[in-house]
């Protein structure tokens, strides 16, 4: 006995940890199951007047949307890059600054029977997500993707492709938010002959009152572009009063599912690399599942505000049966960038 004390705690309510102090080592097992707020609270508990401080995090890698990946590897939304996970898989052990990374697989566990490893290998045939996690130990997209045809291209390439479309259909859509959700605006271009959807501009922000957002988006007043928005009549009335050409999208019982199916009909969805938040939400977007593991076709693992903005922008457009004549307006400025 050397005077050390081991404390076991759950993290259902991180605030319970605030009375703990003089901790020199913290081990978070299955850290991907812990909320990011819990991890940050534990960092505040890690302090001791004389001893060196260490935190150990162990987990099976899950989706790239998990905080563990964004904090320790890459966070495209906030333009943070720490380590390429593919490099870790090859080198197995890497030290960067004060963080030590170690990657291991079933072969590294000397106590695993061969029959167990064989079972893991069989996952490749019927559960590729679990195979990636449990057998390969790789991060990735965990679940069934909503938009498997989504791809990212350089902004200039996207604008060039749009300029070469024969009579492009240009649209803008907006999803309203404030505290927990975001105001999201997207500009789109549709190649109705190829059935390609291009996303070339975005606005994405929260915590701003309508008068501030109106000022942020005032270029829409100058261009007189039509914005189709979420059906919030009071907000739309305010934007219209301030000079915006804004109308509500048509929402109805089952519209979420119909909108989602419509967007899935595009052969390709090509997004400018300048639309960081759209990429963050839509590239890894996966369906929620019920208790039996069946997908819920109109529910997702996150609330994708840019997806809602796309729904509204294409409110009266049908991918498979174009019933309207594409509206002509000024082609987008190739130098236009996302906010």
DSSP-derived secondary structure letter, 110 = T
Q: Which residues pair with 29 in a beta bridge?
A: 58
CB contact at 8 A, 296 and 173: no
**91 Cβ contact partners less than 8 Å away, ≥ 6 residues apart:** none
Instruction: Compute the Cα dihedral for 224, 228, 230, 231 and give only its sign.
Output: positive
Find the angle CA(1)-CA(49)-CA(35) to the nearest 5 degrees: 85
Q: Distance from CA of residue 316 to its chain's centroid?
A: 26
Task: State residue 179's pLDDT score.
Answer: 72
Query: How many CB atoms are located within 10 Å of the residue 204 CB?
Result: 23
Q: Could you tell me which of 258, 58, 65, 36 has the C-alpha nearest to residue 143? A: 65
Tracing tokens 């990429």 back to the chain, one arrives at: 279
- Residue 249 neighbours by CB under 8 Å, 6+ apart: 173, 228, 229, 230, 231, 311, 312, 315
**CB atoms inside a 10 Å sphere around CB 16:** 12
Euclidean distance between CA atoms 303 and 315, whole angstroms: 19
Domains of the chain from N-terminus onward:
150-313 (3.30.420.280)
pTM: 0.76
Digits of tens for pLDDT over the chain (339 positions)? 888 889 888 888 877 787 788 899 999 999 998 889 889 989 888 988 899 999 999 998 888 888 999 999 998 778 889 999 999 999 999 999 999 999 999 999 999 999 999 999 999 988 888 899 889 999 988 788 999 999 999 999 999 999 999 999 999 999 998 777 889 999 999 999 999 999 999 999 988 899 999 999 999 999 999 999 999 999 999 999 999 999 999 988 888 999 999 999 999 999 999 999 999 999 989 999 888 888 899 899 889 999 999 999 999 888 764 444 444 444 555 444 445
- pLDDT at res. 130: 84
Q: What is the pLDDT of residue 333?
A: 53
H helical segments located in 46-198 = 67-72, 85-91, 114-126, 128-130, 155-163
User: CA 329 to CA 314: how far, in whole Å?
Assistant: 16
CA 21, CA 196: separation in Å to the nearest integer?
Answer: 57
3-state DSSP call for residue 268?
A: strand
Rounded to whole angstroms, the Cα distance separating 100 from 97 reads: 8
């Amino acid at each position: 006995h050397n005077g050390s004390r081991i404390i076991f705690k759950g993290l259902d309510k991180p605030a319970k940890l605030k009375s703990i102090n003089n901790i020199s080592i913290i081990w978070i097992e299955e850290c991907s199951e812990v909320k990011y707020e819990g991890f940050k609270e534990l960092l505040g508990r890690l302090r001791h007047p004389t001893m060196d401080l260490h935190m150990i995090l162990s987990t099976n890698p899950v989706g790239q949307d998990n905080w563990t990946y964004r904090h320790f590897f890459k966070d495209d939304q906030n333009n943070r890059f720490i380590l390429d996970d593919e490099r870790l898989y090859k080198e197995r052990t890497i030290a960067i600054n004060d963080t030590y990374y170690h990657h291991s697989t079933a072969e590294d566990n000397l106590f695993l029977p061969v029959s167990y490893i064989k079972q893991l290998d069989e996952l490749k045939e019927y559960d590729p997500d679990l195979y990636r996690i449990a057998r390969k130990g790789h991060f990735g997209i965990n679940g069934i993707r909503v938009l498997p045809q989504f791809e990212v291209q350089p902004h200039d390439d996207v604008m060039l492709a749009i300029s070469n479309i024969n009579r492009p259909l240009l649209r803008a859509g907006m999803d309203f938010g404030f505290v927990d959700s975001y105001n999201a605006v997207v500009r789109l271009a549709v190649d109705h002959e190829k059935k390609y959807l291009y996303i070339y501009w975005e606005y994405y922000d929260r915590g701003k009152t309508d008068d501030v957002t109106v000022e942020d988006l005032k270029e829409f007043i100058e261009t007189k572009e039509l914005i189709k928005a979420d059906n919030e009549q009071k907000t739309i009335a305010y934007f219209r009063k301030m000079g915006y050409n804004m109308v509500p999208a048509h929402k109805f019982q089952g519209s979420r599912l119909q909108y989602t199916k419509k967007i899935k009909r595009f052969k390709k969805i090509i997004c400018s690399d300048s639309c960081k938040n759209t990429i963050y939400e839509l590239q890894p977007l996966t369906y929620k599942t019920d208790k039996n593991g069946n997908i819920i076709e109109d529910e997702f693992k996150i609330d994708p505000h840019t997806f809602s903005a796309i729904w509204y922008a294409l409110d009266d457009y049908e991918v498979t049966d174009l019933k309207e004549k594409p509206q002509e307006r000024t082609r987008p400025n190739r130098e236009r960038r996302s906010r």
